[in-house]
Structure 1
Amino acid sequence: MIKIRRSLTAFAGALLVSSLVAAQGTYPTKPLHFVVPFAPGGESDIVARQVANKLAVLRGYTVIVDNFPGAGGNLGAEKAMKEPADGYTFLVISGAYAANAAVNKSAFDPIAAIQPVIQFSTQPSVLIANLKYKTVGELVDKARKSPGHLNFGTAGIGSLGHLSNENFALVTGVSMNHIPYKGTSNAVTDLAGGQIDMMFAGVTGARALAKGGKIRMLAVTSPKRLQVLPDVPTLVESGIAYESSLWHGLVASKDVPPSIIEKINADLNAALRDPDLVSKFNAELLSPVGGTPDRFKEVITTELDRLQRIVKAANVKPQ
């Protein structure tokens, strides 16, 4: 009788394990959706599509990248958070997510309502200026000698670029004018034309413009010089105590089952270690990151805290 009970217990345990494995094996049964809250062609879109393609190759996933631009990323974020928490809709976020949350009132709690999945990448930004400036020192001297005459451009009020420039002004103690545009490309056009003096931008796009002789890269925001830009100093080297980085990653609704988050995190870590994806990222001057959901949550909360301090110190008002 004891042997029979033990056999039945062992059988039941094996059946339970098999059922769990089978249940896990059924996910995903339909395409995943990566919601990008910006227009196609931007860095968030590029990163999302490269990761989605690699998941398809490595794990056979079908991932649809949905672009929902508007309100500085808020429209796409709100849409993603309203979808069923079944593990099929994810939101691609960047530092712009934290900037929005620091400046504007969101329709949901930017930390409590989400479940971080993984950080995709990191990249320094670069201070760019029109060609009349050769160094950061020249730029700052102009701002100090003519308070309120230096113009910086951004993709809009409350954008990450806006807060980066406000931080630069706080650190250097200068007074500058904010010229908001409807998108980064419009600001860069005026920068090249001399209508504005400076702005912060991603390294990839800035390098292309600098090679074309349209703008000048004055300093990168990384702790050390970049190997691909050995002649561009850091802001710290230029005498400015300023470091920051741009990043991208993936989050889900807080109600998505932990088992799904764990599986997606593991599969994405494998994708981010793949030599082909690493090469594609490096071509965009991006560094793959990976890691745990908790590590990415720390990145998001730290960035939000940093930007909230800038917003308060610079007295940045919501749109």
Structure 2
Amino acid sequence: MHFHPLRLAAALLLCAATTTSALAQAFPNKPIRLVVTFPAGGAPDILSRLFADKAQLGQPVVIDNVPGAGGNIGADKVAKSPPDGHTLVMGTVGTHSINGALYSKMPYDMVKDFTPVAHVASAPNLLVVNNDLPVKTVAELIAYLKANPNKLSFGSPGIGSSVHVSGELFKSLTGTSMQHVPYKGRQFAIPDLVGGQIQLMFDNMPSALPMAKEGKIRAVAQTTAKRSAAAPDVPTVAETVPGFEATTWFAVFAPAGTPKDVVAKINTEMQRVFKLPDVVEKMKSLGLEPWISTPEELAKYQAAEMVKWAKVVKDSGAKAE
């Protein structure tokens, strides 16, 4: 039996195309696991649960909190999962932009090991201080740090988190020094901040703002270029320190090699969920700025952020111990 090489190639191509579209039709054929690289309660967890509650993909979306190593452990788990769309990660500016510059050895490549799905939201960090610290403004904090070098400690939910590098950026732009204390997650850092074991933190606004409103900690400033509508009366750090900007962001990634139509199917559903009026309202009330992107827009944004944060890490001399 003799096969014409061109016909054979065409048949193989047709076969491959049918398999890919069959994959998309068959997707999802089991629950989708959405890995959150930090413990429950923070912004990545809140966003993931909002999606899981509303997603209509024909299979449940199950949240899996895998904290540790500034989010690297959870992200690595997804990087090494089968590329079929059934395992996703709620990536952060840390796991997908900062950590590569900060950690001398990364378990995964922030670009090559993932397929971008969608950017979901960004948020300011909120510079919050212990109520007993005698500072109410950024200028007062800088003066206090200069008078008391290395006396204050700032906490973070892990090395490489936006919370950590916001502090490093602050130190390098103001010429001040303070100690960084990394925790396994923000829920371990906050009691120490309230109790005074650490004195300040650049926490994600969605988790810090409610505590500041309750009077448990004091909000001093926010880290975005413009004031967030969720806290219009809180000034930005940039109003005192020109050029200071640190935005934390959250985006979903799939393992590298995930079929395009599977990615498109997830992106379409994310676009729908994160544009629902009640979801948008909930996000905004927490200080989260909804921004749903295409996979291509996310890839471009991630590339720009990697350049920005590599410079901040280099200038600050920060290292992941």
Give the TM-score of the pair, scaled to structure 2.
0.85
Alpha-carbon shift at residue 112 of structure 1 (Å): 1.4
Structure 1 position 125 matched with structure 2 position 125 = yes
SS at match of 2:119: strand
Structure 1 position 25 matched with structure 2 position 64 = no
Judged with a 3 Å threshold, the aligned counterparts in structure 2 of structure 1 residues 92 and 314 are, in CA distance, closer, same or farther, namely: same
SS at match of 2:38: coil
Alpha-carbon shift at residue 121 of structure 1 (Å): 1.0
- Within the candidate set 211, 219, 235, 1:233 is matched to 235
Greater mean deviation of Cα atoms: 164-173 or 196-205: 196-205
Greater mean deviation of Cα atoms: 59-68 or 85-94: 59-68
Judged with a 3 Å threshold, the aligned counterparts in structure 2 of structure 1 residues 204 and 304 are, in CA distance, closer, same or farther, namely: same
Q: 2 CA distance for matches of 1:40 and 1:247? A: 17
Greater mean deviation of Cα atoms: 37-46 or 138-147: 37-46
Checking the alignment, whether the CA contact within 8 Å between 2:70 and 2:159 is kept in structure 1 is no
Instruction: Find runs of 4+ consecutive structure 1 residues off by over 4 angstroms.
Output: 17-24
Alpha-carbon shift at residue 201 of structure 1 (Å): 0.6
Which protein shows a greater Rg?
1
Alpha-carbon shift at residue 312 of structure 1 (Å): 1.4
- For 1:257, the equivalent position in structure 2 comes to 259
- For 1:114, the equivalent position in structure 2 comes to 114
Q: 1 CA distance for matches of 2:80 and 2:305? A: 24
- Within the candidate set 285, 289, 294, 2:287 is matched to 285
SS at match of 2:238: coil
Q: 1 CA distance for matches of 2:25 and 2:153? A: 56
Deviations 1:272-308 (A, max 9, x none): 2122221232232212211211111122222222222
Checking the alignment, whether the CA contact within 8 Å between 1:51 and 1:272 is kept in structure 2 is yes
- For 2:155, the equivalent position in structure 1 comes to 153
Judged with a 3 Å threshold, the aligned counterparts in structure 2 of structure 1 residues 23 and 156 are, in CA distance, closer, same or farther, namely: closer
Amino acid across the alignment from 1:80: V
- For 1:51, the equivalent position in structure 2 comes to 51
- The unaligned stretches of length 5 or more in structure 2 are 1-16
- For 1:93, the equivalent position in structure 2 comes to 91
Greater mean deviation of Cα atoms: 140-149 or 181-190: 181-190
Structure 1 position 268 matched with structure 2 position 270 = yes
Alpha-carbon shift at residue 136 of structure 1 (Å): 0.7
The CA RMSD over aligned residues, in Å, is: 2.4
- Alignment size in residue pairs: 302
SS at match of 1:86: coil
Alpha-carbon shift at residue 24 of structure 1 (Å): 4.3
Structure 1 position 178 matched with structure 2 position 169 = no
Aligned identity (percent) is 37
Q: 1 CA distance for matches of 2:150 and 2:39? A: 33
Judged with a 3 Å threshold, the aligned counterparts in structure 2 of structure 1 residues 247 and 192 are, in CA distance, closer, same or farther, namely: same
Amino acid across the alignment from 1:39: P
Q: 2 CA distance for matches of 1:23 and 1:85? A: 11
Alpha-carbon shift at residue 141 of structure 1 (Å): 0.7
- The unaligned stretches of length 5 or more in structure 1 are 1-16
Judged with a 3 Å threshold, the aligned counterparts in structure 2 of structure 1 residues 100 and 20 are, in CA distance, closer, same or farther, namely: closer
Checking the alignment, whether the CA contact within 8 Å between 2:90 and 2:253 is kept in structure 1 is yes
SS at match of 1:236: helix
- For 2:82, the equivalent position in structure 1 comes to 84
